Amino acid sequence: MVHPAMSGRTRHSASAQNAGGLAGKSRPARGVCRRLQVASLGGLLVIAAATSQAQSPIEQVLVLQSLDRGNLTLDHFTATFRVSLDQRAGKPVNVVQVVVGPTGFIGAPEQAIVDIIRSMYADRPPPDLIMTVGGPAALFARKHRRQLFPGSPLLIAAADQRYLRDGPFGENESAVTVANDLPGLIDDILRVLPETRQVFMVTGSGAIGRFWRPELETGFARFRGRVTFIWSDTLSLPEILDRVANLPAHSAIVYQTFGSDAQGGAYPAEQVIADLHARANAPLFAQQSPYLGHGVVGGSMMNIDGLAHRTADVAGRILIGESPASLRVPPQSRGPPIYDWRELQRWGIPESRLPPLSVVQFRRPSLLAEYQLTVLAALGALLLQSLLIARLLYERRARQRAEIDSRRNLALAADANRRETISALTTSIGHELGQPLSAIAHNAEALQMMVTDGAAPGVTGEIVADIKAEAVLATQIIERHRSMLRSHQLQKKPIDLHPVIEESLALVAHDMSMRQVQATLDLSSTPCVIDGDQVLLQQVLINLLRNAVDALAETPPARRHITIRSAVKAADVEVSVSDSGTGLPTEIVGTLFTPFVTTKSQGVGIGLTIAQRIVAAHGGTIAAHENQSGGATFTITLPRSASRKLA
């Protein structure tokens, strides 16, 4: 049967490849004969088609295959060889493939295969090159050399050198062979798995398996007493799979070849090795490089790609006229050790046990290698985020330092402002103290007279009580002014603003009286509780009251009036100080709270600035506006305390 291929290539199976099937079923010999006739006719048609072409210098290569498609090693070798030959030849090459080996237990007689091949070239020149692939095809070609175009060069390829021990090469013959070293593979196994005691050999039951078992038994003799070898050539594939699934501990599996099992069933190698890998309870090894990546652990493997390229090089040189006898190529040995990382992980084999200079393939890529762009983007984002966080922390620390400095400066400025205020209220202080001290003096004189006159004890006791009350009043006045003079830092606690308003008004009451200013309190019935510092807020109110008194200097005495109001809302409270004076000068309306802005001839211009900072430190605001009826109103807005009541 002939299979057309690209570029004029054909594959001709003279072994009735479909006769065996996966189940190894045989077919009548008559069917074989019919297929041989069809194959012969197909071959003649291919030759006729080639003859009908124009007289083009197409090289004709006859490839004798040991096995039909399905052998992973030979298929890989053939595909790589054909590509490499096309690249080297530099001119069209027509490749016709003929399978000379049986499929399973079904195959045509060798002479019938020879006759078919000869009939394919009956009406045209013999092939320019005959090449065999695999050991069985090499034996076939050398056995029937006299009948298979002895004048054409013969190139034996992809065959172990042990297949060629029956005689020397002729002048028109060459070979690119290999030196398989299965005992060396066992050494590799014992290196990475030193506790191995049993090796299950998968060799198949066909011609290749029958050839290799005695060869391997001889080579394995040096392992006697250390390793026991179990052979699969008497088992069917289902039996083999059962065995590899139940191997004892410290076992290994070696896949040499398969082709067919003991029942004659033909199976593709890729299917067999996949089933072995899925069922096996022990690591799987093979010597040919195409099996790496299909479930084998690895080792020093035969490089089939390299073998195919060397073979194509020799074939190309023969096609351009070089003598095959001059192209003697030494057998190819195993390559450097190479392993499958996935299988090392599966069977727990540490890389420290691998031979020096071992190559580990199929290693799982690192996170960076597999997701390089994503990882780099994430690292970039993380770096940017880190820089932003560092910047924010720096700014937060700088802000905290600024706030600390601001509070310190506020305390210093407020302290200076309080001292200036107390200095301005010296007359008021003297007047306030004068009243209780004068009362104490008069009461003391009266008491002295009564004691001299022998007054009743009840009367003297009443005078003593008056003296004590006036002394307490004097002490309170002194303490009130001392608290204004004392250096102070912001200390918040729940306070009611109404007593603060009343005390502030008391501090400036004498000054207001001297300037004929009337004051009216319009306070909310609801307590004005906030979280604040009593001393600093009192300083703000005194500052506003003094400014209001100063603003009334040019107002007629009858109209000099100040109103202090409070209002309690849902989230905040408002305290306002209104006067009936001349109002705010137009030129400073927008800069009222700017430092050193003042309309007073003796003023410094920091009172309202300090007041604004104190209010801001409490989370509030201070604003000013003109009254419709004249004068100005300053309003302080502060957030209500969450407790809504005093502690």
Give the pLDDT score at 481: 52
H or E element, residue 10:
strand 10-13
pLDDT at residue 621 greater than cutoff 60: yes
Contacts of residue 362, Cβ cutoff 8 Å, sequence gap at least 6 = 293, 340, 341, 342
H or E element, residue 480:
helix 457-485
Residue keyed to tokens 């072994």: 15
pTM score above 0.75: no
Summarize pLDDT for 489-545 with one digit per residue, the tens. Answer: 677 889 999 999 998 888 888 888 888 999 999 999 999 999 988 888 888 898 899
Summarize pLDDT for 76-129 with one digit per residue, the tens. Answer: 999 999 999 999 887 789 999 999 988 766 778 999 999 999 999 999 999 999
Give the pLDDT score at 352: 95
Contacts of residue 616, Cβ cutoff 8 Å, sequence gap at least 6 = none
Could you tell me how far CA 505 lies from the centroid of its own chain? 69
Give the pLDDT score at 102: 82
Instruction: For 44-97, give the secondary structure using H, E and C.
Output: HHHHHHHHHCCCCCCEEEEEEECCCCCCHHHHHHHHHHHHHHHHHHCCCEEEEE
Give the pLDDT score at 20: 35
- Phi, psi (rounded to 5 degrees) for 159: -125, 145
- Distance CA(38)–CA(43), nearest Å, equals 9
H or E element, residue 284:
strand 284-286
Provide the pairing of β-strand 173-178 with 129-133.
unpaired
Give the pLDDT score at 469: 67
Provide the pairing of β-strand 154-160 with 173-178.
parallel
pLDDT at residue 69 greater than cutoff 90: no
* CB distance 43 to 4 below 8 Å: no
List the beta bridge partners of residue 360: 339
Contacts of residue 132, Cβ cutoff 8 Å, sequence gap at least 6 = 63, 64, 66, 138, 140, 141, 154, 155, 156, 157, 159
* CB distance 299 to 285 below 8 Å: yes
- Distance CA(138)–CA(25), nearest Å, equals 28
- Distance CA(212)–CA(215), nearest Å, equals 5
SS3 395: helix
Average pLDDT of the chain? 82
Give the pLDDT score at 436: 65
* CB distance 207 to 137 below 8 Å: no
pLDDT at residue 233 greater than cutoff 60: yes
- DSSP E strand boundaries for 608-647: 621-626, 632-639
- Distance CA(172)–CA(321), nearest Å, equals 11
Amino acid letter for position 93: V
Region 608-612 average pLDDT: 84
Name the range with the highest mean pLDDT among 35-49, 189-203, 256-270.
Answer: 189-203
Region 193-212 average pLDDT: 92
Provide the pairing of β-strand 572-579 with 632-639.
antiparallel
Q: What percent of the chain has pLDDT over 70?
A: 75
pLDDT at residue 55 greater than cutoff 60: no
Region 11-34 average pLDDT: 39
Strand order through the sheet with 621-626: 518-522, 561-568, 572-579, 632-639, 621-626
pLDDT at residue 422 greater than cutoff 60: no
* CB distance 282 to 247 below 8 Å: yes
- Distance CA(586)–CA(551), nearest Å, equals 14
Region 290-316 average pLDDT: 96
- Distance CA(484)–CA(537), nearest Å, equals 11
pLDDT at residue 299 greater than cutoff 60: yes
pLDDT at residue 474 greater than cutoff 70: no
Summarize pLDDT for 138-165 with one digit per residue, the tens. Answer: 999 999 999 999 999 999 999 999 999 8
The DSSP annotation for 242-279 comes to HHHHTPPSSEEEEE---SB-TT--B--HHHHHHHHHHH
Q: Look at the alpha carbons of 340, 341, 344, 349 in this order and tell me if their dihedral is positive or negative.
A: positive
Higher pLDDT, residue 5 or 61: 61
Summarize pLDDT for 324-345 with one digit per residue, the tens. Answer: 999 999 999 999 999 999 999 9
What is the rounded radius of gyration, in angstroms, for the C-alpha atoms of the chain? 57
Please report which confidence band the pLDDT of residue 34 belongs to, taking 50, 70 and 90 as the band edges: very low
Higher pLDDT, residue 343 or 4: 343
* CB distance 117 to 80 below 8 Å: no
From residue 294, alpha-carbon distances to 284, 297, 315, 340, 615 in Å are: 10, 9, 30, 9, 80
Residue keyed to tokens 């002479």: 111
- Distance CA(503)–CA(536), nearest Å, equals 13
Class of residue 139 by CB neighbours under 10 A (exposed 0-12, middle 13-18, buried 19+)? buried
Q: Look at the alpha carbons of 460, 464, 465, 466 in this order and tell me if their dihedral is positive or negative.
A: positive
Region 301-314 average pLDDT: 96
Point out the least confidently predicted range of 396-400, 405-409, 455-459: 455-459
Class of residue 448 by CB neighbours under 10 A (exposed 0-12, middle 13-18, buried 19+)? exposed
Point out the least confidently predicted range of 226-230, 451-455, 548-552, 575-579: 451-455
Higher pLDDT, residue 617 or 453: 617
Paired tokens of 187: 């050494």
Please report which confidence band the pLDDT of residue 25 belongs to, taking 50, 70 and 90 as the band edges: very low
- Distance CA(419)–CA(290), nearest Å, equals 98
Q: What percent of the chain has pLDDT over 90?
A: 52
Region 18-40 average pLDDT: 38
**Residue 434 CB neighbours (<10 A):** 12
Task: Give the DSSP letter of residue 205.
Answer: S
Burial 217-226 (b: 16+ CB within 10 A, else e): eebbeebeee
**Residue 119 CB neighbours (<10 A):** 16
Region 2-24 average pLDDT: 39
